[in-house]
Structure 1
Amino acid sequence: MSTKESNELTQDTVYDLLSNKRRRFVISKLRRAEGPVSVNDLSESVAAWENGVEVDELTDKQIKRVYVSLYQIHIPKLDEAGLVDYDKDSGQVRLRSTVSELDSYLPEQADDTPNGIPWEAIYAGIAAVALGMYAGVFLFPDAFAWLSVTALNVTLFATLVVVAGAHYLTEQWQ
């Protein structure tokens, strides 16, 4: 009996389905789509993603290589598992509601920053301000006479401890 007929995905089946980056990308792409997507469009999107280029920069060989694997392996496997409906005649693929069974196994789909806080930007900002302050202290000692290196070190360390603590707590509350 196929997984599609039993309407139940086992943990082993889920891990098998998600073990391939192309299948994960297809699921993600279909989640963002407003309706069915053609295998051709999926092939172009996957090829562009894998090659790190825009779709219009792809070669026919790059697209064909992905198309063959999606057509012969990945989409049929997702269809067999009951996660997508695949119409071979029209070449259209759409997600089924059963894809929600994967939610606990996948990272948040909508946003790379689930809590809305761009932590890497915060850390980069702290580093940029600290670098500027250190440069000022060492390159323009008269202008920054009011700021000692020790005070700068303590302030930077305290700021990083507070931000890292907030980051940790925010991640724990999700």
Structure 2
Amino acid sequence: MIFVQVIAVTVASDPTKYSEAFLGKPNEEYCAWILDSEKWGGAIELSILADYYGREIAAYDIQTTRCDLYGQGNNYSERVMLIYDGLHYDALAMSPFEGAPEEFDQTIFAVRKDRTIGPVERLVLNLARDQQRKRRYTDTSNFTLRCGVCQIGVVGQKEAMEHAQATGHVNFQEYR
């Protein structure tokens, strides 16, 4: 089952836990929304996937260098890692040596008794800090967008959503 199907089935199966108050929209509407290939999720979805796969998911945010850990407290013995650039989550992999074939990459790491995965965590945090210094993230609260239909400029995701709701325009491009 693909990720979004796992999420939709999980949410639909427990409308009490996944209520409108929790999801920000009615359960049935959320399930249709998450199945739309143009949509993507965040914390709710990562939490569901951590439980489904029985692994912790560590998501490193480039903009803040914060690590959000999903599935913690469940004593899962493995962890996978993602990096978030403000728009997308990408899986992180550790190569055993430079130039190694992709099939040698490690994407699942053993969780130790101290609930860490050892030196790999420091490497990933350093990667996030390096990406932050290089501004390799999108600040969705403050980025500037231009409507591709009427050419009006908006600041941040909130204004873009308000403009889209008011006009029906959904074609935006980032500009500086």
Q: Which bracket does the TM-score occupy, shorter chain normalised? A: under 0.3
Bigger proportion of residues as helix: 1
Bigger proportion of residues as strand: 2
Taking structure 1 as the reference length, what is the TM-score of the superposition?
A: 0.23
Q: Which has the larger radius of gyration?
A: 1
Higher relative contact order (CA 8 A, sep 6+): 1
